[in-house]
Amino acid sequence: MDLFVSEEKLKELDRDILLFWQEGEMSCPADGCDVFLECIIECRRHWAETHTEFIYGYQCTLCRIATMRKNQIKRHMGLVHPNQPTEGL
């Protein structure tokens, strides 16, 4: 799965989410998904991680590990590649 998409695709995702978001708490609108969402930020993250084919992500520069969150790549670098610089992450 390709983890990198353009800013335009991310903006499109935001527009799609705003179409169905209700103020306050709500369940995910995807058929068969019973996740309960408390805020639109949580909804955006859930939608990107679960219901989209392409998502923005971070990839280790030394191996093929990729993740959706910057802090997870930093943790990976510290555990797997502890002697490598992490500037620019």
Check residue 3 and give its pLDDT. Answer: 45
Number of separate domains in the chain: 1
Q: What is the pLDDT of residues 31-72, one digit of tens each?
A: 788 899 888 888 888 877 777 765 557 888 888 887 777 888
Domain membership flag for residue 41: yes
Domain membership flag for residue 89: no
CATH code where residue 69 lies: 3.30.160
Q: Which residue has the higher pLDDT, 85 or 6?
A: 85
How far apart CA 61 and CA 54 sit, in angstroms, is: 20
Check residue 67 and give its pLDDT. Answer: 78
Range of the domain at 49: 7-80
Domain membership flag for residue 85: no
How far apart CA 54 and CA 6 sit, in angstroms, is: 10
Q: What is the pTM of this model?
A: 0.46
Domain membership flag for residue 12: yes
Check residue 25 and give its pLDDT. Answer: 82
DSSP summary character for residue 70: H
Q: How confident is the prediction for the chain on average, in pLDDT?
A: 77
* Distance set, CA 28 to CA 14, 24, 45, 48 (Å): 15, 13, 12, 12
